[in-house]
Structure 1
Amino acid sequence: MSSSVRHLHILRSKWSRSVRRVTLLKESQAADRLAIAERTLRKIRGEGRISFVLIGRSVRYSLSDLDAFIQSCRGKVARCPSTSRKAARTSTSTSSEMVVAFTARRASRAAEPPSR
């Protein structure tokens, strides 16, 4: 496994009398909670973007890990690039062609005799 994948190991101390109960969800339950496909969840886990609990071969997800993943996916509203300041020209080249208004070009063509 990749070192970027984080594992949560739950250990019980023989001296500890109180054990904190953590709700763990199966992959299908976690995918339903995130409203994504199980395959997508496995892909996200493989990329190391979400924490999980590995118990034997079983993969489980804690509610706090799902909440942390949701928070990490939140985006900020970006400013619309079309309303932002225009970028400076990157080229100083100019065209050697003359710009002619569309209506002027159409009028000159109408005045010419038809060619054969």
Structure 2
Amino acid sequence: MRPSTCASATAGASLLRSGLLPLLLLLTLAWIASADPPVGFGELRCKCVRTTQGIHPKHIARVEVIVAGPHCHSNEVIATLKTGNVICLNPKAPWVKKFIQKTLDNGPSL
């Protein structure tokens, strides 16, 4: 063995025996876990795996439209029902298009 390899192995063993290495590892993991994600990065996949077809618009309390991008290849329409349930709607369905257009025409409700 080369002397430099033995020296680094001995240093690692002494750090392990002293309890410093596990502490450093724990501190590093805690720091990584507490760090904020970089700006612009979020969920990098589609939120809607399946869409619901038969829901009456009067049951919808709020609608969120997520346009296609690097996270998902298609537009997504996420509706929050008055009961609090969250469902995905088919963005290509004519009634969904009409509902979104009507919501946009009415403007934000305060």
Q: Please say whether Structure 1 and Structure 2 have the same fold, judged by a TM-score greater than 0.5.
A: no
* Structure ID, larger Rg: 1
**More RCO (CA 8 Å, sep 6+):** 1
TM-score using structure 1 length: 0.24
TM-score using structure 2 length: 0.25
Greater percentage in helix: 2
